[in-house]
Copies of this chain bind each other. A is one copy, B any other.
């Protein structure tokens, strides 16, 4: 994916959306992450029409997010599995899920829970943290890209034009 070829601002966000931004793509990845590897299960879980799903899965395999793995030869059948890139997409799905729980869903249909020794079972409150310094990213000052543009860090303070 050549970032420079994308329309608009050259940005990895646009590149990511090019690969997984089409309709049903992220839902298909969710189903595979949940352990549904077969075409019909993914179709049922997402509600996507079968022809659209077929096109999306092919594209996701081409993009390196999913891989096909045969599980039967008699009639040749293969399931879809996450690649490393696909597994790396799970935090993205979690972030969108949490946002949807808070702002899109009428009621928390599905809740992310977490169980740790220190805090027992608790609802997940996800945030991005910088592994180098341990600080949350949301508090970062906007900085400059190589091209000298401001860039995603904190939504910049409102400028009252």
The answer, among B113, B116, B128, B159, for a CB contact under 8 Å with A135, is B116
Total copies of this chain within the assembly: 2
With beta carbons under 8 angstroms apart, the residue of B95, B106, B145 that contacts A110 is B145
Complex Cα gap A132–B64 (Å): 33
* A91-108 with Cβ < 8 A to chain B: 91-108
Chain A window 69-111, contacts with chain B (Cβ cutoff 8 Å), 1 for yes, 0 for no: 0010000000101100111111111111111111111111111
Could you list which residues of chain A lie within 8 angstroms of chain B, going by C-beta atoms? 1-4, 6-19, 21-23, 26-27, 30-35, 37, 44-48, 63-65, 71, 79, 81-82, 85-116, 118-119, 121-133, 135, 137-138, 140-146, 149-156, 158-159, 161
Asked if residues A137 and B91 are in contact (CB atoms below 8 Å), the reply is yes
